[in-house]
C-alpha cells in the first residue's frame, strides 16, 4: 500500500512537471493576446478587388525577369555589376492599370484589368533607355515598348541614374586616378590613409546641359554621419561614355581653389603655390549614439481590446475607413480607393517627388538639386524599428522590390499601420451655466507610414485617417543635413555647424498626387516646405519643430 502511494505521488509529480513544461512552452510561444486579436469584428469587409493595386509579388518579379531574359534579341543582363555598355534590366514595378478600367472592375463588376509590369532597360549597347510593358501576369507572354508613347521622346542613356555596375567603375577610377596619385596630398591635408578612408557623396544634376553626364563628387571622412564630415576636396568627373577608359577628371577643388587636372593640383602642391590644409584629428561628432541615458521607459501605446483596424493583403479597414495600398520603388507609398462610410473620397493619394535645392560657393552643394524620385524614393523604404519608428504594437507589412538588383528583394516590416490616440478630445463641452453637464469624445486616427532614407535624409511619410473624415499627408525629415567644407564666402550660404563644416542653406519641395473623388472631403496637403539648416548638427527635435510649425501654417 505504502509503495503504491509512493508510486502514485511520484507519477503525479512527474505528470505535473511535464504539464508545466508543456504549458510554459505553449504560452511563451504566444504573443500577448491583448494586442493581436480584436474583440470586435471590423465594420466593413476586405475588398479582394483591391489586388489590382497590389505591388508585384516575389514570384511575379521572377516571372517578368524570366520573360525578359527569354527575349534573346534584347540581350539583357541582370548581373548587378553589368557594365554601362551592356543592356541592363534596371527596374520592374507594377504598371498601375488605367483608372477607367479599375473603376469598371470595382464599381460595375467588370473584368479585372490585365495585370502588367513596367520594365526599364538601360540599353548600353545602343545608347537608349527603354520602358516596356510586360504582361499578362502571372504568365507574361508579350511586351511592348511604351517609351515613345509615355515620354514623347527617345530617352538617351546619359539620362539614366548611376547603377551599382557604374559605381563599381567610378570607385575604381577614383582609387586609381585620384587617391593613388594624390595619396600624399590627401594624407597631409585630411589625414587620409589605408585606415582613414574618404567616401564619395555625389551631387546632382549631373551636368548643366541636356546630354551631359558630369558629376561633382565631394569627399567626406568615413565616419558615422559622414555627411557632416566634409574634407575640403571635390572633383568633377565626366562619365558620359559607356567606356570607362574615356572618363576623365575635369576639375578639382582643394581648399576653395580650382585645378584643371590631378597633375595641376600635384604640381601646385609641390611648388607650394596652393594654400595647404593640415590634417586635424578625426573627431566622431556625427555619431548617433545617445549622449546620455534616458531616465526611464516612456509611455507606450496599448489597445486593450486589440486593434480597431485590420490589414489583409494590401487592404486596410479602420472604423469608417477602407483603402488599398502599395509602394512604388520610384515614387514611394500610395493609397487607392480610399472610402469613408463606404463612399469613395479619394481614388489615389501618393507621394510623387521630394526635391531639395541647395546653395553654396563650393560646386558640389552649389549645383545640387536632388530630385529623389530619379534615384527612387520607395526603393529606400527599409525595415521599421518597433518602438522607435512606429509603436511596438503596430502592424508591420513586408514589401518586395526590383530595382538595380539581380533578383527581387524582401524588405521586412517596411510599412507600418497603427491607430494613435491624439491626446485631445475630438469635441467636448462642459456646461456650467443654467445646468451642469459634460460631453466629450475621445479622438484617435489611423497612421499609414513608411520611412525612406535617401542618402543623408530620412523622410518619414505619414498618411493619417481621422475620424472626422479628414485625411492628412504629412512628411517629417530627419537624418543628417548635407554639408560642405567651410571656405571663404561660405557663410553667405548657411551656418557653421562644426569645425570647418557648413550646413548649407536649402529648400525642400514635396509633391503629392491627390485624386479627389468628392467635394466634401477636407484634405490637408503639404506641397512644399523650406527651412535653413541652422545651429545644429543632427537633425532632431528642433528641426521637427520648424517643420511642424510650417505644417500648421499651411493648414
Ligand atoms: C550580348 O551582350 C554581351 C555583353 O553583355 C555581348 O558580349 C554580346 O556580343 C551580345 N550579343 C549579341 C548577340 O548582341
Ligand atoms: Cu533639410
Q: Is 75 in the pocket of ligand 1 (CB under 6 A)?
A: yes
Mutate to test the pocket of ligand 1, among 72, 77, 83, 86 (most ligand atoms within 8 A of CB): 86
Which ligand is nearest the CA of 481, by number?
2
- Cα 85 to averaged position of ligand 1 atoms, centre (Å): 10
Q: Is 71 in the pocket of ligand 1 (CB under 6 A)?
A: no
For residue 82, give the ligand 1 atom closest to its CA. Answer: 5
- Residue 142 corresponds to which cell in the numbers above? 508579350
For Cα atoms 151, 128, 404, give the angle at the middle one, nearest 5 degrees. Answer: 90
Mean pLDDT of the chain: 89
Dist CA 417 CA 15 (whole Å): 44
- Listed in sequence order, the DSSP H helices in 198-350 are 262-271
Sign of CA dihedral 541, 354, 421, 383: negative
Q: Is 212 in the pocket of ligand 1 (CB under 6 A)?
A: no
Smallest Cα–Cα separation from 145: which of 210, 69, 68, 80?
A: 68
Give the H/E segment covering residue 554: helix 541-554
- Cα 484 to averaged position of ligand 2 atoms, centre (Å): 14
Model confidence band, residue 468 (pLDDT cutoffs 50, 70, 90): confident
Strands 457-466 and 471-480: antiparallel
Dist CA 52 CA 48 (whole Å): 9
- Using the 8-state DSSP alphabet, how is residue 366 labeled? H
Model confidence band, residue 324 (pLDDT cutoffs 50, 70, 90): very high
Determine which residue's CA is closest to atom 2 belonging to ligand 1. Answer: 75
Confidence at residue 1, expressed as pLDDT on a 0 to 100 scale: 63
Dist CA 313 CA 492 (whole Å): 51
For Cα atoms 421, 424, 429, give the angle at the middle one, nearest 5 degrees. Answer: 135
**Bond prior to 460 in cis (omega within 30° of 0):** no
Per-residue model confidence as pLDDT tens digits over 477-529: 889 999 999 999 999 999 999 999 999 998 888 888 888 876 544 444 444 44
Per-residue model confidence as pLDDT tens digits over 404-438: 999 999 999 999 999 999 999 999 999 998 889 99
Smallest Cα–Cα separation from 151: which of 181, 128, 177?
A: 128
- Residue 192 corresponds to which cell in the numbers above? 587620409
Q: Which of 55, 93, 337, 372 is catalytic?
A: 372
Q: Read off φ and ψ for residue 476, nearest 5 degrees.
A: -115, 145
Q: Please confirm, yes or no, whether 93 is among the known catalytic residues.
A: no
Q: Please confirm, yes or no, whether 132 is among the known catalytic residues.
A: no
Q: Which of 318, 347, 457, 480 is catalytic?
A: 457
Whether residue 401 contacts residue 391, with contact meaning beta carbons closer than 8 Å, is answered with no
For residue 75, give the ligand 1 atom closest to its CA. Answer: 1
Q: Read off φ and ψ for residue 226, nearest 5 degrees.
A: -55, -25
Per-residue model confidence as pLDDT tens digits over 62-109: 999 999 999 999 999 999 999 999 999 999 999 999 999 999 999 998
Amino acid at each position: 500500500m505504502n509503495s503504491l502511494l509512493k508510486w502514485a505521488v511520484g507519477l503525479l509529480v512527474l505528470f505535473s512537471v511535464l504539464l508545466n513544461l508543456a504549458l510554459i512552452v505553449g504560452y511563451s510561444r504566444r504573443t500577448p493576446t491583448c494586442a493581436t486579436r480584436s474583440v470586435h469584428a471590423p465594420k466593413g469587409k476586405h475588398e479582394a478587388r483591391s489586388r489590382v493595386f497590389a505591388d508585384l509579388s516575389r514570384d511575379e518579379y521572377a516571372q517578368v525577369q524570366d520573360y525578359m531574359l527569354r527575349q534573346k534579341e534584347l540581350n539583357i543582363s541582370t548581373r548587378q555589376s553589368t557594365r554601362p555598355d551592356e543592356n541592363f534590366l534596371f527596374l520592374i514595378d507594377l504598371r498601375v492599370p488605367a483608372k477607367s478600367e479599375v473603376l469598371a472592375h470595382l464599381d460595375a463588376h467588370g473584368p479585372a484589368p490585365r495585370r502588367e509590369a513596367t520594365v526599364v532597360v538601360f540599353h548600353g549597347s545602343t545608347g537608349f533607355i527603354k520602358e516596356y510593358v510586360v504582361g499578362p501576369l502571372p504568365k507574361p507572354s508579350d511586351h511592348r515598348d511604351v517609351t515613345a508613347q509615355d515620354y514623347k521622346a527617345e530617352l538617351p542613356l546619359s539620362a539614366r541614374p548611376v547603377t551599382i555596375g557604374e559605381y563599381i567603375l567610378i570607385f575604381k577610377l577614383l582609387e586609381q586616378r585620384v587617391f593613388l596619385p594624390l595619396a600624399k596630398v590627401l594624407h597631409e591635408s585630411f589625414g587620409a590613409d589605408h585606415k582613414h578612408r574618404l567616401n564619395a557623396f555625389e551631387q546632382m544634376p549631373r551636368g548643366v546641359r541636356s546630354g551631359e553626364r558630369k558629376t561633382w563628387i565631394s569627399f567626406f571622412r568615413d565616419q558615422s554621419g559622414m555627411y557632416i564630415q566634409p574634407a575640403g576636396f571635390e572633383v568633377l568627373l565626366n562619365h558620359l561614355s559607356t567606356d570607362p577608359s574615356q572618363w576623365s577628371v575635369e576639375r578639382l577643388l582643394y581648399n576653395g581653389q580650382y585645378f584643371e587636372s590631378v597633375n595641376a593640383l600635384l604640381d601646385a602642391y609641390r611648388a607650394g603655390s596652393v594654400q595647404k590644409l593640415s590634417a586635424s584629428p578625426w573627431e566622431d561628432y556625427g555619431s548617433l549614439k545617445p549622449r546620455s541615458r534616458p531616465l526611464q521607459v516612456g509611455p507606450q501605446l496599448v489597445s486593450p481590446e486589440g486593434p480597431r483596424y485590420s490589414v489583409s493583403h494590401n487592404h486596410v479597414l479602420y472604423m469608417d475607413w477602407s483603402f488599398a495600398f502599395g509602394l512604388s520603388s520610384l515614387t514611394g507609398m500610395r493609397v487607392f480607393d480610399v472610402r469613408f462610410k463606404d463612399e469613395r473620397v479619394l481614388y489615389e493619394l501618393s507621394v510623387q517627388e521630394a526635391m531639395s535645392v541647395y546653395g553654396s560657393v563650393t560646386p558640389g552643394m552649389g549645383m545640387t538639386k536632388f530630385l529623389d524620385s530619379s534615384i527612387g524614393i520607395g526603393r529606400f523604404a527599409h525595415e521599421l524599428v518597433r518602438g522607435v519608428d512606429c509603436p511596438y504594437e503596430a502592424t508591420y507589412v513586408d514589401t518586395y522590390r526590383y530595382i538595380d538588383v539581380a533578383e527581387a528583394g524582401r524588405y521586412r516590416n517596411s510599412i507600418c499601420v497603427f491607430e494613435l490616440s491624439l491626446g485631445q478630445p475630438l469635441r467636448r463641452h462642459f456646461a456650467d451655466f443654467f445646468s451642469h453637464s459634460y460631453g466629450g469624445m475621445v479622438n484617435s486616427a489611423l497612421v499609414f507610414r513608411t520611412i525612406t532614407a535617401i542618402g543623408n535624409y530620412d523622410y518619414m511619410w505619414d498618411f493619417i485617417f481621422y475620424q472626422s473624415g479628414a485625411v492628412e499627408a504629412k512628411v517629417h525629415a530627419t537624418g543628417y543635413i548635407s554639408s560642405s567644407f567651410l571656405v571663404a564666402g561660405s557663410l553667405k550660404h548657411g551656418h557653421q555647424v562644426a569645425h570647418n563644416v557648413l550646413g548649407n542653406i536649402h529648400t525642400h519641395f514635396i509633391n503629392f498626387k491627390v485624386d479627389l473623388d468628392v467635394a466634401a472631403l477636407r484634405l490637408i496637403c503639404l506641397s512644399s516646405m523650406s527651412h535653413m539648416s541652422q545651429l545644429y548638427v543632427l537633425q532632431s527635435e528642433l528641426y521637427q519643430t520648424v517643420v511642424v510649425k510650417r505644417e500648421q501654417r499651411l493648414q
